Amino acid sequence: MSDQSDVTGEARVTPVRVIIALCLVAPFVAMLWVGSYAKTDPTFIGIPFFYWYQMLWVLISTALTMLAHQLWRRDQRARAGREGGASE
């Protein structure tokens, strides 16, 4: 029962974790909403919109995943600092 504080610490929803979740969910939503990009116009250097939109999301997804990873690492370091300082 003394481990109850550890369990509640794991389930915290912080603004940083919400941003991380949004960064990771955005590409899925963009790709699952096919009606928004199921068209040929506008073309980009002769490539129909359907294709270049998806390729653009590959780059955007990479950037968002990198951002989420950096935010997660920063959140974990801050959390370890708070827990380390509290136990001393």
**Domain contains 66:** yes
The model carries a pTM of: 0.76
In the chain, how many domains are there? 1
Domain that holds residue 60: 27-77
What does the pLDDT look like over 4-51, one tens digit per residue? 545 455 668 889 999 999 999 999 999 999 888 888 889 899 999 999
Q: Of 83 and 54, which is predicted with more confidence?
A: 54
Asked if residue 2 belongs to a domain, the reply is no
Per-residue pLDDT band at 78 (split at 50, 70, 90): confident
Give the residue among 34, 81, 70 at the shortest CA–CA distance from 54: 34
d(CA 42, CA 63): 24
Neighbours of 27 (CB within 10 A): 16
Phi, psi of 44 (to 5 degrees): -130, 115
